[in-house]
Amino acid sequence: MSQNDIDYGTPARQSATLVTLTIDGRRITVPEGTSVMRAAAEAGISVPKLCATDHLEAYGSCRLCMVEIEGRRGTPASCTTPVTPGMAVWTQTDRLARLRRGVMELYISDHPLDCLTCPTNGDCELQDMAGAVGLRQVRYGYEGENHRAAAKDESNPYFTFDPSKCIVCSRCVRACGEVQGTFALTIDGRGFDSKVSPGALESFMDSECVSCGACVQACPTATLTEKSIIQNGQSEHSVVTTCAYCGVGCSFKAEMQGTTVVRMTPWKDGGANEGHSCVKGRFAWGYATHQDRRTQPMIRKITSDPWRVVSWDEAIAYAAQRLKAVQEKHGRGSIGGITSSRTTNEEVYVVQKMIRAAFGNNNVDTCARVCHSPTGYGLKQAFGTSAGTQDFRSVDQADIILVIGANPTDGHPVFGSRMKKRIRQGAKLIVVDPRRIDLVRSPHVEAAHHLQLRPGTNVAVLNALAHVIVTEGLVNDAFVAERCDPAEFAQWAAFVAEPRNSPEAIAEPSGVPAEDLRAVARLYATGGNAAIYYGLGVTEHSQGSTSVMAMANLAMATGNIGRPGVGVNPLRGQNNVQGSCDMGSFPHELTGYRDVADDTVRHQFEAVWNATLDPVPGLRIPNMFDEAVHGAFKGLYVQGEDIAQSDPNTQHVHAALQAMECVIVQDLFLNETAAFAHVFLPGTSFLEKDGTFTNAERRINRVRPAMPPKTGKHEWQIPCELASAMGYPMHYDSASEIMDEIAALTPTFQGVSFAKLDRVGSVQWPCNEAAPEGTPIMHADGFMRGKGQFVVTEYVPTPEQASRFYPLILTTGRILSHYNVGAQTRRTANVAWHPEDRLEIHAHDAEQRGIRDGDLISLASRVGATTLRAQISDRVPQGVVYTTFHHPVTGANVVTTENADWATQCPEYKVTAVQVTRSNQPADWQRRHAAVIDAAAAE
């Protein structure tokens, strides 16, 4: 049975003007601009269709949807005909039936009649329509010229293209353009010869296709079909859940045969994605059942011992005993834990509770430390909340889109597509990035300005923009007077107005011409609704928090906050990075960002948890490593984060892990960190989890189990059992019960429950008595902290400067097909797109070093060296090199340094002074690493 949603044929229209008409004698009222087809569908009247689908604009090519309208000649297509007041439409008449059968006859006369063996048998609109119009014969025969022998394209790892089944409805072409914004497909040729073509008659893999699946989703026939469906057949039930990759938080239907996933289809009602997806969520879920998964607990006395598979009871008892032994020997504060942004809110909550209540300290931190902790700090200072201000939908009303330090089409692809759509509609784009990301110029999208600043100069550039706004009288005085603290504004305005912050002064350090800075400032301040979207290119700097506050200053000064189309919006990295922060993962904060040192707050938790909590904030991740190297921190529980690979200055992290007496890793795979572990506790994949993720727009989405946990236990049960074994009894009967406790203790989650989420789909926090259905746009009537705070953001150059020995600056980022350290995506067919990380280097820098494209090169910083292949690229300017970090063997973090954000210690991944030279062999650490991996594989 198909798991498809109702298809209304054409997109919904928003209008205050309503139109009433009759269809088949029934009175129907719809917004002005609605098509006759959609009006009928909303009333439950189904009109046959092939080229129409409700996520694409009507096209009117198949002629199957014709209707009769009283007073009009002919039989207009209902998909392209808008409703008018008093219109009387008939959808089923003898004449229409005859015409529709004629249309279908033509289609079927050029279609292979292999329905019984076709992979989409039962999920084919052509088949459905043949039935709907009562097709009983095909008078034209199959002997004439036809397309039934056209060759298949199986180049894409996830779907096939079988042109013999194509009806040239153009849904795929339109989906690729309208929804995805890639424009990889065209209709080549005319009339009978017209055919769908990826690029210039290339294969899908050779074309611009980014494998988002929108065309596959749109195709009404078996022409574009998932290989998983060809292999397994159609699903028999589905479960709505949430993607486990990035912070967009797309909703999917996991289409199932029993406990086997046969396809993931983006859910039309998903608040974040509205039916769209990217290659990762749509196709790269195979890691969940990959042979590398470890599903049984394992222990070992020392890290050179082989792992021993044990029962859960033995593993928990062993872990508890080792942690307690460490505490007895080295003190209560000698152990701690790291929560994961890959796990659910409920799983994060129980881990931080275990640490605070059972470990008896606040040594809890989260992987957000190394990505968006400056967002939490900066936005809380400025606005009073550690979260983005808008929902994704808000971008549809933006006139100016300023993207800084983010690469949405690779890092947050579904939102990137939405953003591109808005730009195609006319919004102006400003990109601030050292690298020429795709958004700067791609089909039908071109940035009005690309400020190609030197890595590390974000604050200088933001201050220069503010300088122009203040000195050219572009401040929104009314907004500032009403919403912000006047004394702080005056102080800030005086600061940015100083000549040292002028574009002319900043041009030299930033490398951005003064006139470009002035033009961007004017455009941002005067171009209408202006929205800022930013990513790790802002936060992962020594002044990450300062940059976040500088952006908040710009938004407040121009009144671009508190309504749709504006705001300051972090594009969060991991699926639940917002949630892991919300759930009290920082050492100084309990859930909802409330201070652990605040007696009133702490006493609330103590009363519910029945425990005495330490009022002193605990160690952050880098402090844990430092203390471990110094001998004071000896035990670590780390959940779903591969710190040995993902944290900066790998050598230091390895030294810290080696110095510990008890390392407990909870993960899907024996990751790099597990090489240092004494206890391995298997985790569950998103397909097994029951709980919630919170995405970048504060949207709390349900994660529902499509299959039982392969480990035999829910992941939230493990910390509960470990806490209990350590002497603090902790028990829940369900994930829902954990959410109820979160809601009871967290004002912004007060109105959240699984029952509500199941009823309404998703909500954006704050969700409480004041906002029972959630809060899509924050700070609408006033800032959460009261008056908005302008903070003086002095530019302090990073100590990491290019020098004679390290003359280039390395910056890092992600690619679409992979995710973080690649633990999941490397275990899928996504490796077809990016089998290795490469170093992008400008032709001039390469030539100076005798480096050719594809050469093995050594990348060395003052802390370490690694080798990888070079890619000559004009995306990076002279003096800047760039790499991704998806493959452990690349070891990008071997070269990154211990420099960090002054406020949050978020590492400065984005600026490392390096030298690049030709090489003919792997670095020493890579040889050692290969030996470790071989040993792990042998187990």
Footprint of ligand FES on this chain (CB under 6 A)? Answer: 49-52, 60-65, 77, 79
CA nearest to 796, candidates 550, 551, 537: 550
> What is the DSSP secondary structure assignment for residue 81, as one 8-state letter?
P
By a kind-dependent CB cut-off of 5 to 8 A, residue 411 interacts, out of ligand FES, ligand SF4, none, with none
CA nearest to 646, candidates 366, 232, 853: 366
**Peptide bond just before 306 cis, omega within 30 deg:** no
CA nearest to 460, candidates 509, 396, 495: 509
Minimal distance, residue 61 CB to ligand FES, in Å:
6
Q: Which is nearer to ligand FES, 129 or 791 (CB)?
A: 129
Minimal distance, residue 147 CB to ligand SF4, in Å:
10
> Which residue of the chain is nearest ligand SF4 when measured via CB?
281
Candidate ranges 55-63, 169-177, 667-675, 782-790; the one touching ligand SF4 (CB under 6 A): 169-177
176 binds ligand SF4 (CB under 6 A): yes
Residue type, 870: A
| Structure tokens given for 717 | 């049960």
CA nearest to 889, candidates 845, 929, 934: 929
Q: Which is nearer to ligand SF4, 130 or 557 (CB)?
A: 130
Question: CA 934, CA 322: separation in Å to the nearest integer?
Answer: 28
By a kind-dependent CB cut-off of 5 to 8 A, residue 529 interacts, out of ligand FES, ligand SF4, none, with none
Question: CA 681, CA 298: separation in Å to the nearest integer?
Answer: 7
Minimal distance, residue 84 CB to ligand FES, in Å:
18
- x-or-dash string of contact with ligand SF4, 847-886, rule CB under 6 A: ----------------------------------------
By a kind-dependent CB cut-off of 5 to 8 A, residue 63 interacts, out of ligand SF4, ligand FES, none, with ligand FES
Q: Is 638 helix (H, G, I), strand (E, B) or coil?
A: strand
Minimal distance, residue 123 CB to ligand SF4, in Å:
13
Site residues (CB under 6 A) for ligand SF4, limited to 201-240: 209-215, 218-221, 223-224
By a kind-dependent CB cut-off of 5 to 8 A, residue 246 interacts, out of ligand SF4, ligand FES, none, with ligand SF4
Q: Which is nearer to ligand FES, 63 or 787 (CB)?
A: 63
Minimal distance, residue 92 CB to ligand FES, in Å:
16
Q: Please give the helix or strand (H or E) that residue 403 lies within, else none.
A: strand 400-404
Candidate ranges 60-68, 175-183, 774-782, 793-801; the one touching ligand SF4 (CB under 6 A): 175-183
Question: CA 901, CA 456: separation in Å to the nearest integer?
Answer: 11
Minimal distance, residue 219 CB to ligand FES, in Å:
14
79 binds ligand SF4 (CB under 6 A): no
Beta strands in 642-783 (DSSP E): 662-667, 679-682, 691-694, 699-703, 762-764
Site residues (CB under 6 A) for ligand SF4, limited to 240-269: 243, 245-246, 248-250
Contacts of 654 (CB under 8 A, 6+ apart): 644, 676
Selected from 75, 78, 182, 502, the binder of ligand SF4 by CB under 6 A is 182
49 binds ligand SF4 (CB under 6 A): no
First vs last Cα of the chain: how many Å apart?
43
CA nearest to 125, candidates 237, 217, 55, 187: 217
Contacts of 823 (CB under 8 A, 6+ apart): 287, 642, 667, 668, 669, 671
By a kind-dependent CB cut-off of 5 to 8 A, residue 705 interacts, out of ligand SF4, ligand FES, none, with none
| Structure tokens given for 928 | 């050692």
Q: Is 930 helix (H, G, I), strand (E, B) or coil?
A: helix
763 binds ligand SF4 (CB under 6 A): no
Q: Which is nearer to ligand FES, 51 or 507 (CB)?
A: 51
Minimal distance, residue 198 CB to ligand SF4, in Å:
6
Selected from 228, 277, 817, 884, the binder of ligand SF4 by CB under 6 A is 277
Q: Which is nearer to ligand FES, 40 or 430 (CB)?
A: 40
By a kind-dependent CB cut-off of 5 to 8 A, residue 404 interacts, out of ligand SF4, ligand FES, none, with none
By a kind-dependent CB cut-off of 5 to 8 A, residue 172 interacts, out of ligand SF4, ligand FES, none, with ligand SF4
CA distance readout (Å), 829 to 235, 247, 672, 673, 818: 22, 22, 21, 24, 10
Token pair 């872990």 is found at 319
Minimal distance, residue 49 CB to ligand FES, in Å:
3
Q: Which is nearer to ligand SF4, 340 or 457 (CB)?
A: 340
| Structure tokens given for 60 | 């009117």
Minimal distance, residue 748 CB to ligand SF4, in Å:
22
Minimal distance, residue 220 CB to ligand SF4, in Å:
6
Q: Which is nearer to ligand FES, 60 or 879 (CB)?
A: 60
Token pair 């203790």 is found at 745
By a kind-dependent CB cut-off of 5 to 8 A, residue 50 interacts, out of ligand FES, ligand SF4, none, with ligand FES
Candidate ranges 167-175, 844-852, 873-881, 884-892; the one touching ligand SF4 (CB under 6 A): 167-175
CA distance readout (Å), 857 to 764, 810, 862, 896: 47, 14, 16, 17
CA nearest to 625, candidates 646, 604, 594, 600: 646
Question: CA 110, CA 846: separation in Å to the nearest integer?
Answer: 55
Q: Which is nearer to ligand SF4, 412 or 483 (CB)?
A: 412
Residue type, 229: I
Q: Which is nearer to ligand SF4, 164 or 289 (CB)?
A: 164
62 binds ligand SF4 (CB under 6 A): no
CA distance readout (Å), 361 to 30, 411, 617, 727: 59, 35, 8, 14
Minimal distance, residue 133 CB to ligand FES, in Å:
12
Q: Which is nearer to ligand FES, 177 or 220 (CB)?
A: 220
Token pair 């302008």 is found at 790
By a kind-dependent CB cut-off of 5 to 8 A, residue 62 interacts, out of ligand FES, ligand SF4, none, with ligand FES
Q: Quote the distance between the C-alpha of residue 110 and its chain's center.
A: 42
Question: CA 853, CA 861: separation in Å to the nearest integer?
Answer: 21
By a kind-dependent CB cut-off of 5 to 8 A, residue 214 interacts, out of ligand SF4, ligand FES, none, with ligand SF4
Question: CA 298, CA 307: separation in Å to the nearest integer?
Answer: 6
By a kind-dependent CB cut-off of 5 to 8 A, residue 171 interacts, out of ligand SF4, ligand FES, none, with ligand SF4
By a kind-dependent CB cut-off of 5 to 8 A, residue 52 interacts, out of ligand SF4, ligand FES, none, with ligand FES
Contacts of 909 (CB under 8 A, 6+ apart): 370, 536, 540, 648, 812, 893, 896
Q: Please give the helix or strand (H or E) that residue 19 lies within, else none.
A: strand 18-23
DSSP-assigned letters across all residues of 359-422 = I-S--EEEGGGGTTHHHHHHHHHHTS-SS-SS-GGGGGG-SEEEEES--HHHHSHHHHHHHHHH
66 binds ligand SF4 (CB under 6 A): no
Selected from 167, 523, 723, 876, the binder of ligand SF4 by CB under 6 A is 167
Minimal distance, residue 406 CB to ligand SF4, in Å:
13
Helices marked H in 727-881 — which ranges?
735-745, 754-760, 843-848
- CB of 705 closer than 8 Å to CB of 715: no
Candidate ranges 255-263, 276-284, 303-311, 599-607; the one touching ligand SF4 (CB under 6 A): 276-284
Question: CA 765, CA 313: separation in Å to the nearest integer?
Answer: 38
By a kind-dependent CB cut-off of 5 to 8 A, residue 79 interacts, out of ligand FES, ligand SF4, none, with ligand FES
CA nearest to 254, candidates 894, 707, 635, 592: 707
Q: Which is nearer to ligand SF4, 247 or 297 (CB)?
A: 247
Q: Rule CB under 6 A: which residues touch ligand SF4? A: 166-172, 175-176, 180, 182, 184-185, 196, 209-215, 218-221, 223-224, 243, 245-246, 248-250, 273, 277-278, 280-281, 412-414
